[in-house]
Amino acid sequence: MTIGHVLTLLLVVPAVGLIPLALFRGDARAAKQVAIVTTFVELLLSLVMLAQFKVGEADFQLVEQADWLPSLGIRYFVGVDGISVLLVPMTTLLTFLSVLYSSGGAIKDRVTAFMASFLILEIGMVGVFISLDLFLFYVMFELMLVPMYLIIGIWGGTRRIYSTLKFVIFTLAGSLVMLVGIVAIWLASGPEGSRTLSLPDLLAIRNRFSAEFQFWVFLAFGLAFAIKLPMFPFHTWLPDAHVEAPTAGSIILAGVLLKAGGYGFLRFALPLFPTGTQLWLPLIIVLSVIAILYGAAVSTVQKDLKKLVAYSSVAHMGFVTLGIFVLNAQGGVGAVLQMLNHAFVTGALFLFVGIQYERTHRRVIADLGGLANHWPLYTTFFGVFVLASLGLPGLSGFVGEFLVLLGTFQFGGVPLGGLFWGPLAAIGVILAAIYLLWMFSRVMYGPARDHYKVLPDLSPIEVACAVPLLVLTVLLGVFPQPAIAIIEPSLDRVLRLATDPTFLVALR
């Protein structure tokens, strides 16, 4: 099945879904139905897009472009390659599941506004992964901020105002710094009348960017992406935002929004600023390993179940930046797979933390216990996702982390070499097994709480939300090669652009 202008349709469908939401704004049931249908159509459309993608080609495909602000050299320019084409259906699936779960009763107030926020958020998230013009990318990058601010600030927990303000201040500060970098690129791209922010055009003229220019502009982009990721030490907004966000908000925050940072490094920072990449690379490698160890160590002492999963994201995303900046195929492919794996596995963990909280109104690990005696289906699903998160072979979490570690061991472009930083990062995997298994044993097999006996196991809607994530977790763990075949050609192209020795020598 072939559909023309499929990428534009991916942006239009959620926007069209806002119209009936406005018409039925007083009818919560109708609002739920509209949101479920809209996000499901968006999911199907993203799968059609994936089917139209030609595996093995490195360049951008399904490209659409039109003049937007021609006097400024700004265009509506969208396309996908092997790096982004899997992130789009990842986004649409998690959005659909979040809306489906929320329709089951998790959101009781201002339902129409909640669903509208999710549709707007989906436009921004999909737009980030398909934008090939820096101005369009910035608009979509910022568009994600507003609905997530509302989702946490209106439907969040008791400290939601503090958490959402912290989230906005951190991410907005990074975005404004990136805007300065975008303006600098626009001014450096050529004389007035010929300036551009189109990524292919900028790649063709990147030899105009001096080493000093790349150093500072990479820093501007890197700060925005590091905060969004979030990279140590810019991570402090994340635990607060996760703890206070509603369950659907936590799923999207962990599953999609964090990936915008890693994707931004691969899409823009590495290919546009190869010398800047080399100059900042040692620091980023060190911070990535610190994030892995710090996130794991802090997770081991958490008393709050949701905060434990939040801090584990800091460690897992540390593997993403480590894989990106070792600048080899194994690490890069592992980083992209880790983004996918983290989205499905950690998104599922937040889903199950939310499910039990809706029933028990408890998140402190010491207050839980013996749930396996009463919720066998819940325990089975949750157990598989815990094992995937700690990197058990045969599940998706293993593949990405293994490839990242393999790439790190082979990397020599950092002080002390990969044979020093690789084993340090591997310690994070051991720590993950410790804190995740410790948490699972206490929550599921600790002393039984009699008052949990009357609480029901998973509902049909909750099972429907969990099954696709479980299937993908197993498939990516057992058969990762189809995904690797999609990612590898485009990833190799990015690495060639980032490590071109002739270009690097010319800038010294």
Looking at residue 508, what is its pLDDT?
42
Looking at residue 502, what is its pLDDT?
64
pLDDT in tens, the chain (508 residues): 677 789 999 999 999 999 998 888 778 888 889 999 999 999 999 999 999 999 988 899 999 999 888 888 889 999 999 999 999 999 999 999 999 998 877 778 888 889 999 999 999 999 999 999 999 999 999 999 899 989 988 888 788 888 888 888 888 888 999 999 999 999 988 887 788 899 998 988 888 888 899 999 999 999 999 998 888 888 888 888 888 889 888 999 888 998 999 999 999 999 999 999 999 999 999 999 999 999 999 988 888 888 898 888 889 899 999 999 999 899 999 999 999 999 999 999 999 999 888 888 888 888 887 788 788 898 999 999 999 998 889 898 899 999 999 999 888 766 766 678 888 888 988 898 898 999 898 888 877 666 677 778 788 999 999 999 999 999 999 999 999 999 999 999 999 998 876 655 454 4
Separation of alpha carbons 494 and 209, rounded Å: 18
Helix or strand (DSSP H, E) at 67: strand 61-69
Give the distance between the most distant pair of CA atoms in the chain: 74
CB 341 within 8 A of CB 396: yes
Q: Give burial (CB, 10 Å; 0-12/13-18/19+) of 463.
A: middle
3-state secondary structure of 57: coil
DSSP-assigned states of every residue in 280-302: HHHHHHHHHHHHHHHHHHHHTT-
3-state secondary structure of 181: helix
DSSP-assigned states of every residue in 384-423: HHHHHHTT-TTSHHHHHHHHHHHHHHT--SSTT-HHHHHH
Looking at residue 191, what is its pLDDT?
83
Separation of alpha carbons 477 and 481, rounded Å: 10
CB 389 within 8 A of CB 477: no
